[in-house]
């Protein structure tokens, strides 16, 4: 098929998908598939030089958003209606010319809407920057400055240094080599608070359910003295509660085995008992021996990506040593596809973030190798319909 025929076929396929799409009752999978077709079509038509300038546009857009937020401009644009640059400048005490030039960057990319005559309005995209402000703030203020200094880091460090969490680019860029990213944040409560808020926001966008069939593990003859599920480093128990609710909604009874939430003392002390009914709290350090033996399920969600292989291996070995022959370890993580697929780029920009702070997103092969080194085997990856989020099922070797 000729290049021109390929182009026409791509457009016709997109048109056919659009004709079958119900915009009043949008199907999420269909919508994302159409976006993927549109993106592929864009790549077919885009000139290499245009692609380079698009990257510069991304950088400019990010800079404009953060500067306008710092100037309190985005907040002063009414959520309904519009406002002139002159009035915005008066309301924020900023220079109208500078304000207008920054806004133009965002109207050119559809983040804000230009109505003519230097009058502007919000779009759903600009409101997203306000409503999920902490993710943008953390990524741009904490990660991006280090990302731009990565060439200097690799020029001044031995190649293997980047895999030492105490010599991460983040630690180096903050004059804190010798401390991990998390130890550094403990010394800076304001930055720790921003990080926690950003992670809570992102957490809500990543599914817990809809992949692994938790209800299938309930047994009528289960030993009540045996823990049913142990959520290792489970934070405030948000994932554990969703699992518990799904099982109980299906008529299951988790009362035949303990439901245990493990984390550091400071984390658990901040969780009122009434927020996690039926759940036992247990203080642990996952780099030490796992105190709960023979649980039916050990659950790790969004923990592995925080650490390099050496640290992950220790965490996994401690769990493996506690497992019974029929125990399962379930790992909730994104898995990097062998070949980029779809429009969801989350796993790729997240992996760069983790490279900077001392962690790692992994492919199926990398997970399999890591698990094998800890005495475990990868049984199955239960995938989400969209995106890279999965539940990785593991047994003892």
Tokens of 331: 């790992």
Question: Residue 25: left if φ>0, alpha if ψ -120 to 50, beta else—which one?
Answer: beta
Q: Please count the structural domains in the chain.
A: 3
pLDDT for residue 256: 63
Q: Are residues 53 and 182 in the same domain?
A: no
Tell me the C-alpha distance between 231 and 236, whole Å.
10
* Mean pLDDT across 244-263: 81
Q: Are residues 229 and 363 in the same domain?
A: yes
How confident is the model over 335-375, as pLDDT tens digits? Answer: 999 888 777 788 998 999 999 999 999 999 999 999 999 99
pLDDT value, residue 44:
85
Q: Does 318 score more than 90 pLDDT?
A: yes
pLDDT band at 51 (very low <50, low <70, confident <90, very high): confident
Let me know whether 36 and 85 are in one domain: yes
User: Are 178 and 281 members of one domain?
Assistant: no
Cβ atoms of 307 and 359 closer than 8 Å: yes
Residues 100 and 141 in one domain: no
Residues 173, 120 within the same domain = no
pLDDT category at 230 given cuts 50, 70, 90 is very high
Verify that 273 and 314 share a domain, yes or no.
Answer: yes
pLDDT class for 244, splitting at 50, 70, 90? confident
Q: Please provide the average confidence, as pLDDT, over all residues in the chain.
A: 90
Query: Based on the domain organization, do 366 and 236 belong to the same domain?
Result: yes
Is residue 208 one of the residues assigned to a domain? no
Least confident of 34-38, 100-104, 201-205, 214-218: 201-205
From 181, 203, 225, give the residue that closes a domain.
Answer: 203
Q: Cβ distance 73 to 92 under 8 Å?
A: yes
pTM for the full model?
0.84
Q: Could you tell me if 366 and 282 lie in one domain?
A: yes
Looking at residue 245, its pLDDT comes to: 87
Residues in the chain: 397
How would residue 142 be classed by pLDDT, with cut points 50, 70 and 90? confident
Q: What values do phi and psi take at 298, rounded to 5?
A: -110, 135
Question: Which pairs with CB-CB distance under 8 Å and at least 24 residues apart come from 103-109?
Answer: 103/64, 103/68, 103/73, 105/60, 105/61, 105/63, 105/64, 106/61, 106/64, 106/65, 106/68, 108/57, 109/57, 109/61
Residue range 111-127: mean pLDDT, rounded: 95
Could you say which of 131, 155, 174 is where a domain stops? 131
The token pair that represents 108 in the structure block:
């050119």
Q: Is the pLDDT of residue 255 over 60?
A: no
Has residue 373 been placed in a domain? yes
Task: Quote the CA–CA distance of 217 and 219 in Å, as a whole number.
Answer: 6
Give a yes or no: residue 209 inside a domain.
no
Contact by Cβ (8 Å): 123, 110: yes
- Which residue did the predictor score with more confidence, 319 or 249? 319
Give me the active site residues, please: 305
The verdict on 11 and 67 lying in the same domain is yes
Residue 232 has pLDDT above 90, yes or no: yes
Q: Verify that 220 and 340 share a domain, yes or no.
A: yes
Give residue 180's domain range. Answer: 133-203
On whether both 221 and 297 belong to a single domain, the answer is yes
Task: Find the CATH number of the domain harbouring 262.
Answer: 3.40.50.150
Six-digit token pair at 34? 């159409």
Q: Is residue 132 predicted with pLDDT exceeding 80? A: no
Please tell me the distance from the alpha carbon of residue 182 to that of residue 215, in angstroms, as a whole number.
35
Tell whether the model's pLDDT for residue 275 goes beyond 70. yes
């Amino acid at each position: 098929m000729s290049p021109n025929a390929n182009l026409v076929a791509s457009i016709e396929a997109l048109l056919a998908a659009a004709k079958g799409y119900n915009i009043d009752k949008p199907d999420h999978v269909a919508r994302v598939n159409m976006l993927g077709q549109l993106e592929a079509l864009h790549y077919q038509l885009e000139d290499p030089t245009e692609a380079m300038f698009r990257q510069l546009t991304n950088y400019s857009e990010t800079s404009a958003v953060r500067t306008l937020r710092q100037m309190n401009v985005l907040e002063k644009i009414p959520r309904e209606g519009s406002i002139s640059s002159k009035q915005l400048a008066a309301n924020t005490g900023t220079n109208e010319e500078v304000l207008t030039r920054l806004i133009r960057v965002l109207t050119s990319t559809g983040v804000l809407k230009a109505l003519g005559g230097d009058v502007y309005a919000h779009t759903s995209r600009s409101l997203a920057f306000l409503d999920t402000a902490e993710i943008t703030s953390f990524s741009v203020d904490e990660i991006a400055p280090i990302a731009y200094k990565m060439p200097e880091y690799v020029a001044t460090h031995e190649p293997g240094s980047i895999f030492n969490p105490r010599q991460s680019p983040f630690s180096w860029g903050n004059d804190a080599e010798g401390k991990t990213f998390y130890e550094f944040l403990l010394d800076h409560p304001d930055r720790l608070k921003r990080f926690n808020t950003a992670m809570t926001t992102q957490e809500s966008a990543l599914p817990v359910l809809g992949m692994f069939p938790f209800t299938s593990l309930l047994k009528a003859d289960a030993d009540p003295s045996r823990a049913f599920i142990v959520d290792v480093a489970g934070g405030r128990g948000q994932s554990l509660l969703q699992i518990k609710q799904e099982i109980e909604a299906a008529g299951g009874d988790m009362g035949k085995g303990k439901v245990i939430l493990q984390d550091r003392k400071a984390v658990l002390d901040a969780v009122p008992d009434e927020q996690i009914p039926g759940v036992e709290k247990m203080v642990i350090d996952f780099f030490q021996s796992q105190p709960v033996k023979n649980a039916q399920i050990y659950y790790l969600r969004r923990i592995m990506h925080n650490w390099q292989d050496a640290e992950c291996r220790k965490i996994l070995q401690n769990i493996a040593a506690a497992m019974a022959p029929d125990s399962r370890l379930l790992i909730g993580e994104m898995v990097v596809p062998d070949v980029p697929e779809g429009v969801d780029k989350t796993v790729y920009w997240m992996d760069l973030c983790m490279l900077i702070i001392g962690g790692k997103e992994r492919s199926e092969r990398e997970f399999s190798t890591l698990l094998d080194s800890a005495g475990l085997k990868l049984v199955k990856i239960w995938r989400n319909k969209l995106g890279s989020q999965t539940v990785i099922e593991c047994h003892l070797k």
